[in-house]
Amino acid sequence: MTGSDSGSDPGSGPDPGTGTETDALSVTIVDGYVDEPAHFGVPPYISTYPRYTAGALVDAGVPREQITYHTIDGLRDDPDRWRAVDDADLMIYLGGMTVPGKYVGGTPAEPDEVRKLAWTASGTSLMGGPVKFGVGDENAGATETERQDLDFDFVAKGDVEAAVHDLVESGLEGFNNRMRDIDEVSRWAQEGAFIVEQHPNHPEYLIAELETSRGCAYRCSFCTEPLYGNPSFRPAPTVVGEVDALADYGVKHFRIGRQADILAYGGDGEAPNPDALRQLYSGIREVAPNLDTLHLDNMNPITIVNWPEKSREGIRIIAEHNTPGDTAAFGLESADPIVQEENNLNVTAEECFEAVRIVNEEAGWRPGGPNDPTADATTGDARPRRLPKLLPGINLLHGLKGEREETYRHNREFLQRVYDEGYMLRRVNIRQVMSFDGTDMSDTGAEIANEHKKLFKRYKQQVREEIDNPMLERVAPPGTVLSDVHLEYHQDGKTFGRQLGTYPLLVGIPGERQLGRTIDIAVVDHGYRSVTGVPYPLDLNGASMDELTAIPGVGDRTAGDIVVNRPHESVTDAGLETAIELDEFVTTRPFEHAD
C-alpha cells in the first residue's frame, strides 16, 4: 500500500497550489461492495461506507449536487457512467470482501476492475473500506490475500470516511490515517443519507445496513472484526436519527447488521443490556412506523449462555419489534473441540445448542400463531402462516487450524441433533476460510482448506440433503406466505425472487413473470436452500397449468381437469386430494352466473 503515516505517497495527489476549491470539487464514489464478518453491502444491501463517505464530504464543504454515486454493476451495465470516474476531481473506491459468499443481487468488484478505476481516474483517487485488509486473486474462499494499493494515489488505512473528510480539508494533499469518532459518525450517517437516492435499487428494492457498534471482545483466529478493537457503541438516538433520515429519502427496509453481537449493544461489550435494545428498537419503530423490513445479523451464542435471563429479555424485545423471517447468525464456526481450542473460538457445540434452544423458545413464534404474545385473540388464527419471527442461523467455517476429517463428523452431528430435537435453524452457512494479514490465520493461510477441498464438497452436499431440506420444510411448511417477494430473474421457465431481509429465501415461481415487481407467494415445495411458491392467494379459476402442477400431488391430469371444469364454486368443489392443506392459500375468485 502507498504511503506512510500521512497516508500518501509524496509524489501522489494534485500539485501544491492547484487544488480545486471545496465548494467546486466534483466527487465520484464507486461502490464495489463489501462483505465483512459484521457488515454487508452487496445489493440489494447498501453498506454504511458510501453513506458515511457522502456525509463526510458534505461535512467538509462539498455540495451534495457535486457528489455522484455509482455501484460497480452500474458501471458494468452502462459504459457511459465511466465518464464520472474520469471527470471527477476526486474518485473514491469503496469495497473489500473479508468473508466469501455467493451473491444474487450484485457481483463484487474484482481486483482488475478496481485497478481499471484507478487508471481511468484523471483526478485524485482514493481507495478504502475492508479492501485495506488485503486483496486476493478473486473473491472466494480458501484464498490468501495481500495488501495492495491497486495503483490508487491514496489508500485509507484507517476509516475511509475520516480519510475522505481530512483529504478534502487538506485540498487533496493528504491525510493522517485515523479512526472516526462517535460525534463524526453521528453527523455523517445522517448527512450522507441522501446518497441512497442514487442507488439503482432505490427506493423499492434497497435495504440499508445499520451500524450499532464495531470491534469485538473476542479474538477468533480468522476474523477481521477484532482489528477494529474492542466494541464501541453508537448511542441509540444517533442510530434512530439515521433511520429517520433514511426514511425521509424513501428507505423502508433496514438491517441492524453492523455489529459483532446485537445482544451486547449498549453494554460493556459482553453482557446484554435489554434497556438499550428497547430504546434502539422502539425508537426505530417510532421514526419509521411504516417500515417494511427490520432485521438483524450477528448474535453471539456465548452471550446467551453466560447471561441467559438478560438474553431472553433482549431476544423478546427484538422479536416484538422486528419483522418475520429475521435471522440471528451464530458464529459456531466448528463443533470440533480441537479446532475450537486452536482457533480461540469462544463457544462450544453444547453451548451453541443451548443458545439455539433459547432463541427458538423466545422468538420462534409466528405472527398470528398460537404462541404469538402480541396476537389479537379475535383475529389470531385468521392470519396466514408466516415465517417465524427470529431464528438462529449457524456459521460453519472450514480450513481452520487443527481441522481434520473428524471435524466434518462433529459438525454434521451437531446439526443433526438440532433437527432431531425439534428446533429450527433459519439457515446453515458453510464456507472456507480467507486468510488476512493481522489475524492468527495468516501463518496457516489457505493450506488446510485447499487440502480438504474434496472432503469439503462431499460434506457440504450431505448437509444440504440431510439437514437443509427437511429443516427448511419445518421453517416454511407448505402454505407459509412470503409477502413482497421481489422478482429478480428468469431461469428454466421460472421466475426467481426474494424478500428483502437477512438471508432471504430464494423463491422459484412457475412461469416467466414481469421482473422488478413484487408479489405475495405461498410456499408449496422445498429445495435445499430455496422454495417453490405460487401466487398468494392462488385462484383455482385463474391459475395456470404450471402453477397448479407446482402443488405437490397435482399432476398434469388433475390440473387439466381443474382447468376444463372451471369455474369452481369453492376449493372443495374442485375435489383436489393432496397431502397439504389447500384452504390456507388456495381460493376461488367469485364469479357471476350468466342470466
Query: What pLDDT was estimated at residue 37?
Result: 75
In one letter, which amino acid is 349?
A: A
> Mean pLDDT over residues 36-49, rounded?
90
Reported as a pLDDT band with limits 50, 70 and 90, residue 592 is low
HSE on the CB side for 269, CA within 13 Å? 10
- Looking at per-residue confidence, does 361 or 454 come out higher? 361
Of 2-6, 331-335, 394-398, 464-468, the poorest mean pLDDT is in 2-6
Query: What pLDDT was estimated at residue 139?
Result: 45
Quick count: other Cβ atoms within 10 Å of Cβ 537? 16
Query: What pLDDT was estimated at residue 267?
Result: 86
> Mean pLDDT over residues 495-504, rounded?
94
Of 140-149, 160-169, 194-203, 495-504, the poorest mean pLDDT is in 140-149
- Looking at per-residue confidence, does 315 or 451 come out higher? 315
Distance CA 488, CA 442 (A): 38
> Mean pLDDT over residues 575-591, rounded?
83
Reported as a pLDDT band with limits 50, 70 and 90, residue 1 is very low
Is a pLDDT exceeding 80 seen at residue 491? yes
The percentage of residues in the chain with a pLDDT greater than 90, rounded to a whole number, is 67
Torsion of CA 161, 165, 170, 174, to 10 degrees: 0
Q: For all residues of the chain together, what is the average pLDDT?
A: 87
Is a pLDDT exceeding 70 seen at residue 144? no
Query: What pLDDT was estimated at residue 214?
Result: 79
Is a pLDDT exceeding 70 seen at residue 500? yes
Residue 583 contacts residue 547 (beta carbons within 8 Å): no
Query: What pLDDT was estimated at residue 571?
Result: 87
> Mean pLDDT over residues 562-588, rounded?
87
pTM of the model: 0.89
Q: Which residues of 384-407 are buried (b: 16+ CB within 10 A; e: fewer)?
A: bbbbbbbbbbbbbbbbbbbbeeeb
Reported as a pLDDT band with limits 50, 70 and 90, residue 446 is low
Quick count: other Cβ atoms within 10 Å of Cβ 299? 27
Tell me 64's DSSP state. G
**Most confident option among 9-18, 147-156, 200-209:** 200-209
Distance CA 468, CA 273 (A): 33
Query: What pLDDT was estimated at residue 7?
Result: 44
> Mean pLDDT over residues 404-428, rounded?
96
- Looking at per-residue confidence, does 227 or 475 come out higher? 475
Query: What pLDDT was estimated at residue 576?
Result: 82
Of 338, 305, 69, 288, the closest CA to residue 194 belongs to 69
Q: Which residues touch 130 (CB under 8 Å, ≥6 apart)? A: 34, 36, 39, 95, 96, 97, 98, 224
Query: What pLDDT was estimated at residue 35?
Result: 87
Q: Exposed, middle or buried: residue 79 (CB in 10 Å: 0-12, 13-18, 19+)?
A: exposed
Query: What pLDDT was estimated at residue 63?
Result: 97
Query: What pLDDT was estimated at residue 268?
Result: 85
Q: Report the chain's C-alpha Rg in angstroms.
A: 25
Domains of the chain from N-terminus onward? 21-205 (no CATH), 206-373+384-475 (3.80.30.20), 480-587 (1.10.150.320)
Reported as a pLDDT band with limits 50, 70 and 90, residue 8 is very low
Q: What is the pLDDT of residues 175-214, one digit of tens each?
A: 999 999 999 999 999 999 999 999 999 999 999 999 998 7
Is a pLDDT exceeding 60 seen at residue 76? yes
Of 505, 518, 506, 500, the closest CA to residue 209 belongs to 500
Is a pLDDT exceeding 80 seen at residue 16? no
> Mean pLDDT over residues 320-339, rounded?
94
Strands, E assignment, 350-441: 390-398, 427-432, 434-435
- Looking at per-residue confidence, does 390 or 97 come out higher? 390
Is a pLDDT exceeding 90 seen at residue 574? no
> Mean pLDDT over residues 511-529, rounded?
95
- Looking at per-residue confidence, does 270 or 250 come out higher? 250
Is a pLDDT exceeding 60 seen at residue 566? yes
Of 406-420, 433-447, 544-558, the poorest mean pLDDT is in 433-447
Query: What pLDDT was estimated at residue 132?
Result: 58
Reported as a pLDDT band with limits 50, 70 and 90, residue 135 is very low
Q: What is the pLDDT of residues 218-253, one digit of tens each?
A: 555 555 555 666 668 899 999 999 999 999 999 999
Query: What pLDDT was estimated at residue 217?
Result: 63
HSE on the CB side for 202, CA within 13 Å? 20
Of 401, 477, 384, the closest CA to residue 440 belongs to 401
Phi, psi of 88 (to 5 degrees): -65, 140
> Mean pLDDT over residues 265-278, rounded?
92
> Mean pLDDT over residues 309-333, rounded?
96
Q: What is the pLDDT of residues 91-130, one digit of tens each?
A: 999 998 876 567 888 999 988 999 999 999 999 999 998 8
**Most confident option among 27-41, 132-146, 242-256:** 242-256
Query: What pLDDT was estimated at residue 318?
Result: 98
Query: What pLDDT was estimated at residue 416?
Result: 98
Query: What pLDDT was estimated at residue 141?
Result: 39
Query: What pLDDT was estimated at residue 300?
Result: 92
Is a pLDDT exceeding 90 seen at residue 469? yes
